[in-house]
Amino acid sequence: VSLTAFAETVGAAASNLEVDRVLGEEFLEVSLPLSRAKIHVLPSEPPQNPLDDLLADLEVDASTELLIARVGVAVQDPRWWRGSLEREWRRRGWRVRFFSVAEDVDIGDVDLLVVHHQQASSWAGREGQWLQVIGRATAADPPLPVVWVAPLSDAGWVHQLIEAGVSFLMPAPQAEASESMARFGADVSLVVERLLEARRSEEHSALPPGVTDLVSALLSESDPDQGVSSLLQVAAEHFERGAVLMAEETLVRCRAGFGYPLDRNSTTLPREVGLLEHVICTGEAVMAIDPESGEVGGLAEVLGVSELPAATAVIPLGRGGGVAGILVADRQGRELPDLDDLVLLAGRLGGAAVR
């Protein structure tokens, strides 16, 4: 798959595609002359009741399978981080690993480090060791974000931390009261979320802005159904079945597909359910799944099949530095081909076709 081929497909879709809209909110059946794949485009509006009891149960069962990031917390007394804060981070897919002293910190085993000193005396005499930890984090590729939570009254020490490369400075919580802890938990979670997102963006280099703008401009002139159909026609060169799922605020909703017997009465999955949320949040493609897991069972139901093969690709569709949707596709159990070019193309430009 090349950018030229994708652009030609988009252009052909914008000029030649004829969409027969089926009355009564049936699927739109779209067939492009340049491919045999028949694309089924679902209604653009979500159903009235997108979540049912089955999917709610699936979200609860699959939450422990979600792992998006590893957060290290260096703290002598981990009680500040236990309980509701640790549970909330687990729900987000952040696995917490605790360290007690600077010598224990393993930079290579975490995606972000929080250093918490409730009192200034807890790092007194060990300043050099903590600066070395920060130095190792800064030298990592990509750099490892470090959040320093401690009293910040010593201006000279704060200056050294900034010079060493600390990503964010936060004052330590002043009381163990529930209101104070809730505010601290919300603040530190927001900081961690932003730093993790920034680190992921640095790991994935973007195409030149002009290329993305060109493809987005081509797609903006076409009907949204044409854009997603063009994307699926490209996918049809590699797979026997495929579907595009849009990432919304709380849902992942099936938008269109080919090969799968899609049903307009079953189109959604909740966000923050293991496999799909991992791909959305990390921007990393998955080339093998566990057919026996509960989350994959829910995905199969949305795609109209009883089960999905282990050789199923889940590919992020990038747009504007984020992920706008997901391509799920397989060859009905046969081994997947080399998909590096398709993954690159979908990750940089695929989201422009998902509206």
Range picked from 32-36, 206-210, 284-288 for highest mean pLDDT: 284-288
In this structure, the answer to whether residues 317 and 244 fall within a common structural domain is: yes
In this structure, the answer to whether residues 132 and 186 fall within a common structural domain is: yes
DSSP result, 3-25: HHHHHHHHHHHHHH---BPPTTT
CA separation for the pair 329, 149 (Å, rounded): 44
CA separation for the pair 250, 57 (Å, rounded): 15
Sheet holding 112-116, edge to edge: 94-99, 69-75, 112-116, 146-149, 168-170
208 preceded by cis ω (within 30°)? no
pLDDT over 70 at 348, yes or no = yes
In this structure, the answer to whether residues 254 and 229 fall within a common structural domain is: yes
CA separation for the pair 149, 161 (Å, rounded): 11
In this structure, the answer to whether residues 46 and 70 fall within a common structural domain is: no
In this structure, the answer to whether residues 127 and 175 fall within a common structural domain is: yes
pLDDT per residue over 243-258, tens digit each?
999 998 888 999 999 9
In this structure, the answer to whether residues 210 and 345 fall within a common structural domain is: yes
Structural domain span for residue 275: 3-63+206-353
Tell me if 354 sits within 8 A of 324, measured CB to CB: yes
In this structure, the answer to whether residues 238 and 272 fall within a common structural domain is: yes
In this structure, the answer to whether residues 213 and 154 fall within a common structural domain is: no
Q: CATH code at 165?
A: 3.40.50.2300
pLDDT over 80 at 28, yes or no = no
pLDDT over 60 at 267, yes or no = yes
Distance in Å from the first CA to the final CA of the chain: 22
Spatial CB neighbours of 299, under 8 Å, sequence gap ≥ 6: 269, 275, 276, 308, 328
The SS3 of residue 135 is: helix
In this structure, the answer to whether residues 20 and 143 fall within a common structural domain is: no
Domain boundary among 203, 224, 247: 203
Structure-model confidence comparison of residues 54 and 350, the more confident one: 350
In this structure, the answer to whether residues 70 and 192 fall within a common structural domain is: yes
CA separation for the pair 314, 326 (Å, rounded): 7
Radius of gyration of the chain (CA): 23
In this structure, the answer to whether residues 241 and 111 fall within a common structural domain is: no
Domain boundary among 185, 203, 221: 203
Domain boundary among 203, 223, 247: 203
pLDDT per residue over 320-335, tens digit each?
778 999 999 999 999 9
Nearest residue to 317 via CA among 228, 251, 239? 228
Tell me if 68 sits within 8 A of 93, measured CB to CB: yes
Identify the helix (H) or strand (E) that includes residue 147.
strand 146-149
Beta bridge partners of 253: 246, 268
In the chain, what is the greatest distance between 2 CA atoms, to the nearest angstrom? 76
> Tokens standing for 239?
């797979």
CA separation for the pair 299, 305 (Å, rounded): 9
pLDDT, residue 220, reads: 60
Whole-structure pTM over 0.85, yes or no? no
- The dihedral of CA 47, 50, 52, 58: what is its sign? positive
In this structure, the answer to whether residues 197 and 259 fall within a common structural domain is: no
CA separation for the pair 125, 111 (Å, rounded): 27
> Tokens standing for 265?
């009465």
pLDDT, residue 21, reads: 37
Place of tokens 């209101």: 179
Grade residue 271 by pLDDT with cuts at 50, 70 and 90.
Answer: confident
Q: How many CA atoms lie within 13 A of 145 on its CB side?
A: 22
CA separation for the pair 224, 211 (Å, rounded): 20
Number of domains into which the chain is organized: 2
Task: Estimate the crossing angle of helix 84-92 against helix 178-203, to 10 degrees.
Answer: 30
- Chain-centre distance of CA 297, in angstroms? 20
- The dihedral of CA 228, 233, 234, 236: what is its sign? positive
pLDDT, residue 68, reads: 74
* Mean model confidence pLDDT for the chain: 79
- Residues found in the chain: 355
